[in-house]
Amino acid sequence: MEKTITVITERDHLLRHRVVLNGFEDLYVDIPKAYGGEESAPDPHDYFDLSLGACKAITAKMYADRKGWPLEGITTRVKRDDSQERKGVYRLEVTLVFHGISDPEQQARLEEISERCPIHRLITQASVEVTTRSDTA
């Protein structure tokens, strides 16, 4: 499936951009003040990290629903360590809290299932090819 995301520079802002994605137009991206931005929106790393956390939660929730388990909700925390990013190491630590699940075996299974989410697989198993080209306005 092919999908297009459009990122457009916001006038009257330093580095803030508006994101248009499948009809969602209230998404923005910016960078921290330390790098010249205004910190008016999540930065690109935040979106990368949150996509992993959200995908893990959605995947685990779908599995629990299919199994009829009493999962009431999931809290996902993604902790980033980008201190070695320039050396090629970007660490993400994901903590999942399964609300309503007290059975340790079910919790372990949901954690295991979360590691099969599409974004986790994309980050850890796929070869991603990026092609960049310029176009006229």
What tokens does 87 get?
């050396």
Asked if residue 23 lies in contact with residue 4, where contact means CB atoms within 8 angstroms, the answer is no
Q: State pLDDT tens for residues 2-12.
A: 888 999 999 99
What tokens does 125 get?
């198993």
Q: At what angle do helices 44-67 and 104-114 cross, to 10 degrees?
A: 130
Residue written as tokens 């959200």?
54
pTM beyond 0.75, yes or no = yes
Asked if residue 17 lies in contact with residue 28, where contact means CB atoms within 8 angstroms, the answer is yes
Q: Enumerate the β-bridge partners of residue 75.
A: 97
Q: State pLDDT tens for residues 50-79.
A: 999 999 999 999 999 999 999 999 999 999
Q: Give the whole-number percent of the chain exceeding pLDDT 70.
A: 100
- Phi/psi at 46 (nearest 5 deg)? -60, -45
